[in-house]
């Protein structure tokens, strides 16, 4: 029995996030929760109220458990919902893997090797799982935890036994990571930040759903998504993105589980993203 469980876990670890999913036992769709309470603040008059109302409306009839984070530097706007609720990361953790690789290389005053660069590109732009597993093993939990500490991502718990897709993540920590990639800081070098954003800007078209939905023309879009089905909580479907242009500089994280299908989760995320882009563009 133990052997069977560990084999299933291995399959799970290998099948996360690049369209090779082997769904486990189907989960019942959870009943709709009470209307979520989104909390927003902004230096721009009226914007927080508008975002709070529109995000709440976008989520009003959606089932599952949804967590949302928004930060716009330009208007000092923040929105959050369930910011400390933990989710299985699926492939969203790949941005953390890349950031750890670059952080560690900087500590050793070296550039990435061509092999590392090839693995990183496949991991982010195509969500390649084998590349991720290779880099995860190379780094090891000590370095990954070291980066999380340096980044202040105290709520993130790396998956054990090589199961990176079962890393526990929160909106709060994902927003911290996106903040590090989009502004000067002492954790990631300017070159590292530019490299992360470059790869997130080159994600294959079939994986550019989620937080970019509704982004205005002329806004630079960088995204990484994750998706995974398990026996509990159905489909986990997540999207993190950074957006710059039109007088705004913002990051969005939407994490979801309890989705009946992957597409249902995508639709939920995109409903939230569309109102955020619209409200910021109008402000």
Does 70 score more than 50 pLDDT? yes
> What's the number of CA atoms in the CB half-sphere (13 Å) around residue 169?
34
Does 18 score more than 60 pLDDT? no
Q: Domains in the chain: how many in total?
A: 1
Only one residue has tokens 């721009």, namely: 44
CATH number at residue 60: 3.40.710.10
pTM of the predicted protein model: 0.89
Domain that holds residue 180: 2-281
Only one residue has tokens 């990639």, namely: 181
Strands in 165-218 per DSSP E: 168-169
Does 12 score more than 60 pLDDT? no
pLDDT digits (tens, 9 = 90+) for 21-63: 333 333 444 444 455 599 999 999 999 999 999 999 999 999 9
Closest CA to 13 of 116, 153, 137, 100: 137
- For residue 6, report the phi and psi dihedrals to the nearest 5 degrees: -65, -35
């Amino acid at each position: 029995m133990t052997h069977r469980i560990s084999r299933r876990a291995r399959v799970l670890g290998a099948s996360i996030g690049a369209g090779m999913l082997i769904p486990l036992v189907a989960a019942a769709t959870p009943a709709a929760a009470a209307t979520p309470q989104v909390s927003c603040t902004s230096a721009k008059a009226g914007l927080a109220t508008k975002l709070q109302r529109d995000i709440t409306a976008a989520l009003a009839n959606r089932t599952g458990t949804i967590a949302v984070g928004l930060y716009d530097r330009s208007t000092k706007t923040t929105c959050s919902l369930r910011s400390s609720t933990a989710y299985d990361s699926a492939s969203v953790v790949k941005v953390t893997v890349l950031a750890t690789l670059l952080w560690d290389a900087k500590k050793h005053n070296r550039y990435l090797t061509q092999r590392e660069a090839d693995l990183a590109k496949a991991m982010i732009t195509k969500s390649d799982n084998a590349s991720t597993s290779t880099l995860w093993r190379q780094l090891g939990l000590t370095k990954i935890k070291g980066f999380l500490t340096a980044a202040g991502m105290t709520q993130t718990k790396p998956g054990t036994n090589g199961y990176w897709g079962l890393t526990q993540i929160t909106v709060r920590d994902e927003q911290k990571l996106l903040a590090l990639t989009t502004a000067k800081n002492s954790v990631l070098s300017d070159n590292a930040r530019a490299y992360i954003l470059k790869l997130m800007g080159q994600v294959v078209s079939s994986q550019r759903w989620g937080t970019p939905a509704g982004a205005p023309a002329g806004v630079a879009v960088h995204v990484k998504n994750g998706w995974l089905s398990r026996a509990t909580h159905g489909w986990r479907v997540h999207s993190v993105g950074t957006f710059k242009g039109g007088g705004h500089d913002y990051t969005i994280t939407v994490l979801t589980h309890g989705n009946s299908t992957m597409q249902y989760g995508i639709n939920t995320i995109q409903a939230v993203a569309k109102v955020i882009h619209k409200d910021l563009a109008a402000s």
